[in-house]
Amino acid sequence: MTVRPPLRPVRGFDWRLAPLQRKLEWEADEAQAAVARELARRESAASATREAESLLVQASQDARQALEAHADPRAHRHQLAYLTFLNDRVAGVRADEQRVAGDLSAARQELLRRQRRLDVVLRARANALELHLREAARRAQVQVDADWLALRELRGGKDAEGCA
């Protein structure tokens, strides 16, 4: 993320795009918050996937052990139905995880887009400020020269050391 220079006033510098800059900063901050929310959702979805997969593995092992023990065929049918239910649940949470990954990718792209817009405005401000400071320095130098010439005229054409 770009480091934002402070909006300190610089004598005589009027940055007319300051409202736009603040708006773009707000939008970039909002996009950053959206990415953080999507990251939390991704972690939650990954946790749900791990939990569902673990439950499916455990239920599969239980069903295998019951089958090897020659358990009741009706109980085995119920276990198979439960395994089918768990398998569908795992597929659902995996699909949710993929959807969240897509949302995260979209949020990151939006953050990059907004950050690029803000960077353009920040570079424009830095360039405008540099031009302003150069012009102020040039005006100050012109004033110093004018003052020196005026002082020289007052002293009868001699410079500050008394030389002609």
Domain range for 65: 18-121
Q: What percent of the chain has pLDDT over 90?
A: 65
| 53 found inside a domain | yes
Considering the domain boundaries, does residue 89 fall inside one? Answer: yes
Per residue in 126-141, pLDDT (tens digit) is 999 999 999 989 999 9
- Is 140 among the domain residues? no
| Tens of pLDDT, residues 10-64 | 777 888 999 999 999 999 999 999 999 999 999 999 999 999 999 999 999 988 8
Residue 67 confidence (pLDDT) = 80
Q: Encoding tokens for residue 141?
A: 């130098």
d(CA 29, CA 104): 16
Place 164 in a pLDDT band, splitting at 50, 70 and 90. low
- Higher pLDDT among residues 54 and 67, named by residue: 54
In single-letter form, the type of residue at position 74 comes to R
Q: Is the pLDDT of residue 74 over 90?
A: no
- Into how many domains does the chain fold? 1
Does residue 52 fall inside a structural domain? Answer: yes
For position 152, what pLDDT does the model report? 87
Long-range contacts formed by 109-114: CB under 8 A, 24+ apart? 110/31, 110/34, 111/28, 111/31, 111/32, 111/34, 111/35, 114/24, 114/27, 114/28, 114/31
Whether 102 is in a domain gets the answer: yes
